[in-house]
Chain A
Amino acid sequence: MAIWKARRAWKARSTPGYGDLGRPLLLRAMAAGYIGFIIALPIVALSVRAFGGGLGKLWANVVRPDALYSLELTLAMAFAMVIVNVAMGTLMAWVLVRYKFPGRSLVNALIDLPFAIPTVVTGLMLVILYGPQSAVGRFMAAGGVEVIYAKPGIVLALLFVTLPFVVRSVQPVLMGLDKEMEEAAATLGANRWVVFRKVVVPSILPAVLTGAALSFSRAIGEFGSVVIVAGNIPMRTQVAAVFIYGEVESDNPQGALGVSIVLLALSFLVLIALYLLQRVGRNQDA
């Protein structure tokens, strides 16, 4: 009797829908082994190398003036991008979901293009358009605004590569929004701005923050577009990813360890934030 019970318990553990193939341990071992080899092992190797030299050494690595500057610049640029992206991305999602206008389907289809286009190409496009050789670039330079090889260019490149994230996470939530709530609020005398603030904003907030977190994580690691648009000028336009690249290229991998660990930690934090936001969104659904 007991053996049948055990057998049934074992069968119940197998992957639903599969018999032999669903031997759960085999599939699970393959999945875990793959992720362990491709993702976890490199992370462990980096961490061991970084912390193996002692915390003091690692700290000195992070607070080196050029390293610290690259981190500060990266965070500042990422935050500037996030602020613009949250405002414009939410507005874009709103206009795409609620209004009908010529060009709507074109915009809606091309929003994902920045994700698909290689980052080097992004950087190159921006240099062609805003660089010193172009008409636009000369015009802006005459007005005292430098875009390329300067900070505005970095923010612009980050805005381009992160364009889809806020729009695409807010859009489905706006579509699923119960319009009766808005109507009810209006019937009770709320004006349009109040309806937007009190009814719409609370429901889309988790999605907006999700988009912001995705954009932020993409921005702090961005390399290809920024290295072309901003160049590699230490203490001026050198962001964290470019700093790491410079250290490795000049045969000083030790110098790249500190900044790499900081970026790695930030990525983990963003993942945790996304996970929590997703739970909030789910609870709101339920």
Chain B
Amino acid sequence: MRDPGRDVCGGAFAFPVLGDPAPGAPAPGGRAFLRSRGSGGAEKFLIGIVLVWFAVLVLFPLGAMVRGVIDAGFAESLRSLASPIAQHAFWLTLGITVISVVVNTFFGVILALVLARQKFAGKLLLNGVVDLPFSLSPVVAGFMFIILFGPNGWLGKWFEAGGIRVIFALPGMILATIFVTVPFVTREVVPVLQESGTEQEDAARTLGANGWQTFWRITIPSIRWGLGYGVCLTAARALGEFGAVLIVSGSVIGRTQTATSYIHQEFVDFHYAGAYAASLVLAVASFLMLVAMELMRKRVADRME
């Protein structure tokens, strides 16, 4: 049975864009025709191509970066990471990430509820616009905020009059990061909400629970892994955001320079040790995020079965 309302609320990314589609599934055993029939040679050839491709594209660059840090020397790397400029950049990035995650988790859940459970005129449009940050260049995103909040912008004029700087300052950087991370929580939660249905919620209502109780006791537990996955995606993206933040921040060293723009600056200034060490820190952070996401993806898959 397909709910007719569902066809438009999945969004362009309703399918799992990321993640192992069947985590924990046994490795293929091979009954399919196209892999049986003693095709050992062809099979090995295809596997070989894939492994080489993956190594060239992903493993070698990762290895090269680790090698770069080792060549630069641990002491030197640690010293550059401990410099006040680097410290400031990392703390700034962390702060922006936390704020973006909180805001987008709150509104992401609301958006998901609205898209998964309601029918109204304009839903298709709302649904499409939610995905836009995913497909729009971050540089254009940052540029839009400059136009809107710049000294001559519609909203910039007000803020300027109130003595608040948005562009080339923290508020603009937060707004830009929020913009690029809008879709993730919504897109992870909508399919879970659709899958879990409304029966339990209706039952809770019948038993006398009010809206809040239903939300906290039924809905949140049933979406929590999808929500966690979306939060991880949001955090990973916010930690690594560069283009949008760079353009609205002006990358003032020690003031509006984030971790990624610090890496860029060090690279441009030929301070490779600092750039490599900071890159490795961010790469490890995103790897850990990915591990957390794999674990949660498994839980989501379990729930959906």
Contacts and interface: CB of A to CB of B under 8 A. Distances in A.
The 5 closest A-B pairs by CB, nearest first: A221-B137, A118-B240, A21-B211, A17-B201, A223-B243
Interface string B21-63: 1100001111111110101000100110111011001111110
Contacts of B289: 116
B214 A30 contact: no
A38 B148 CA distance: 11
A278 B118 contact: no
B152 to A, nearest CB: 9
A272 B170 CA distance: 34
A222 B12 contact: no
B141 interface: yes
Contacts of B200: 17
A256 B243 CA distance: 15
A247 B155 CA distance: 22
Interface of A: 15-22, 24, 27-28, 30-32, 34-35, 38-43, 45-46, 49, 88, 91-92, 94-101, 103-105, 107-110, 112-122, 124-129, 134, 156, 159-160, 163-165, 168-169, 171-172, 175, 179, 182-183, 185-186, 192, 195-196, 200, 210, 214, 217-218, 220-224, 227-228, 240-242, 244-245, 248-249, 253, 256, 260, 263-264, 267-268, 270-272, 274-275, 278-279, 282, 286
Given A46-B147, A124-B275, A129-B61, 5 more contacts: A38-B182, A43-B144, A117-B286, A124-B267, A248-B143
Interface string B142-185: 01111110100111000000000000000000010011001000
Nearest to A211: B17
B303 interface: no
A253 B43 CA distance: 54
16 contacts: A16-B202, A21-B212, A38-B175, A39-B179, A98-B28, A104-B27, A112-B18, A115-B236, A121-B279, A163-B58, A164-B17, A171-B21, A183-B33, A218-B135, A245-B139, A275-B128
B20 interface: yes
B211 A42 contact: no
A138 B45 CA distance: 29
Contacts of A39: 129-130, 132-133, 179, 182
A38 B183 CA distance: 12
Contacts, number: 342
B211 A20 contact: yes
B148 A126 contact: no
Contacts of A107: 50-51, 54
A99 B21 contact: no
Interface residues of B, number: 118
A222 to B, nearest CB: 7
A49 B29 CA distance: 59
A88 B138 CA distance: 27
The listed residue with most A CB atoms (<10 A of its CB), out of B67, B122, B130, B137, is B137
Given A19-B205, A120-B260, A125 B137 contact: no
A260 B263 contact: no
B242 A116 contact: no
Contact of A31 (B28, B107, B155): B107
Contacts of B150: 253
B30 A35 contact: no
